[in-house]
A and B are shown apart, each in its own frame.
Chain A
């Protein structure tokens, strides 16, 4: 039997330079979200390792058992695997993966962070208000529907995305906590940072980009706005622009 969904496999593409990047997918997503970017970066000689976050890309019930420290531990696992291969490491994350990247930059020596579509707060105010009782509520209401209006520009890429069709309710509380912790830590992060946000993001309030930019303690920081993209930047229509900006950032800060 196989436990992982097709497309749920993490990936490892050794490059020929001494620079590596850890690629971290988003909430209810899968390593597949980051795979095209990993392939692009590996072609530039950058060793790329795409982790799978705990409880993801298997079955939604697994994710309701996850705690935010399990996701941090998944990223740490990837960090330790990559560490022996390269001299310098960059954290690259989408949405929740971006929040984890920032927390890694606080706790471990990294050369820079690339953050895509990371919300400054949990987007649903209801979750933030109900946070203390979510563990209880989630015993009966285990999954929330994920149908909202699509913000994808590339409809073909949308069709082949790998993710859970529902939001595991218990896990939303963990994500809300994680984002609170990240926000509280922003000013302690001083490594170079590239923030990439989509004007037409339908999943998170796009203003998050400015909030994150203003909050970061980094002197070397840049906020890039994309116009032809929804929330899933490394898969959507502007992905090439995001790949190129990320590769240029990595070359610059790891030089």
Chain B
């Protein structure tokens, strides 16, 4: 019996360029949401590793058992595997994965970071807004109320992409605290980050508002930093109609910071 959901498996494509890209998916989601981006980067000759975060792509109860330390450790795992096979590593992530990519870059030598749709704090958008005042009481609550259903409204421009997107249908409540803890660590460490940074964010993101990207851009210590707004997309910019633009921007950034001649 497989523990990992079909379609949610991690992946590794080896390229010949000596440059590795670590791809990190978002909270309650799976490697599937960054898989097409990974294929695109691999076609450019890059080695690409799309990891699975602990508690994801299995069952929601597993996610409630995980702590942010486990996610960070998994990202360090992926970095070590890529670093053994490549000369340079670029960290890339979506949403919570973007926060993890930024944190990795604070503790390991990476050539650069691409943070997509990345939150700066626990989002307050519709669907999650009610959570904010509850955060302090969440620990006792999560012993009783373990999950809440995700809202059926979504910000996808492509509803087929929404239907194809593999993720848990619920928010595991205890895990929200861990997202909060991880983002707190991110806010502490962001000013120490020096690696080149590309921030990509949908201007119409209703899950994590554009203000989050503005805050990260303002706080980060990197001097080589750029924030590019993505049109015609909701939160999950890697699967939306604008995805080609996201893939091209990410590829150009990797080529530039790694000094790769194409």
Contact = CB atoms under 8 A, between A and B. Distances in A.
Contact of A80 (B11, B107, B185): B11
B49 interface: yes
Given A13-B84, A77-B51, A58 B9 contact: no
Interface string A1-45: 111100001111110000000000000000000000000000000
**Chain A CB within 10 Å, residue with most, of B11, B70, B72, B185:** B70
A78 to B, nearest CB: 9
A11 B54 contact: no
Interface string B187-215: 00100000000000000000000000000
A4 B3 contact: no
A163 B80 CA distance: 18
Contacts of B82: 12
B69 A62 contact: yes
Contacts of B3: 69, 72-73, 76
A43 B80 CA distance: 19
A107 B2 CA distance: 7
Contacts, number: 90
Contacts of B84: 11-13
Contacts of B145: none
A65 B62 CA distance: 10
A131 B2 CA distance: 25
B69 A84 contact: no
B12 A85 contact: yes
Nearest to B107: A2
A10 B2 CA distance: 22
B58 interface: yes
Contacts of B144: none
A253 B58 CA distance: 32
Contact of B12 (A4, A13, A58, A84): A84
B261 interface: no
Given A58-B69, A80-B9, A11 B2 contact: no
Nearest to A42: B84
Contact of B81 (A12, A62, A80): A12
Interface of B: 1-4, 9-14, 49, 51-52, 54, 58, 62, 65-67, 69-70, 72-73, 76-77, 80-82, 84-85, 106-107, 185, 189
B58 A58 contact: no
Nearest to B106: A1
Interface string A139-157: 0000000000000000000
Contact of B107 (A1, A62, A72, A85): A1
A69 B58 contact: yes
Contacts of A84: 11-14
Closest 8 CB pairs of A and B: A9-B80, A3-B73, A73-B3, A81-B12, A12-B81, A80-B9, A12-B84, A3-B72
B252 to A, nearest CB: 26
A116 B10 CA distance: 27
A72 B54 CA distance: 12
B85 A3 contact: no
Contacts of B69: 3, 58, 62
A70 B12 contact: no
Contact of B1 (A3, A65, A82, A107): A107
Given A9-B76, A73-B58, A14 B85 contact: yes
Given A84-B13, A85-B14, A9 B4 contact: no
B4 A77 contact: yes
A52 interface: yes
Contacts of A52: 73, 77
B2 A76 contact: yes
Contacts of A62: 67, 69-70, 73
Given A76-B2, A81-B10, A85-B12, A65 B77 contact: no
B76 A2 contact: yes
7 contacts: A10-B77, A13-B84, A55-B70, A69-B62, A73-B3, A80-B4, A80-B10
Interface in A154-173: none
A49 interface: yes
B12 A54 contact: no
A128 interface: no
Contacts of A65: 65-67
A77 B70 CA distance: 15
**Chain A CB within 10 Å, residue with most, of B54, B62, B65:** B54
A199 interface: no
Interface string A221-235: 000000000000000
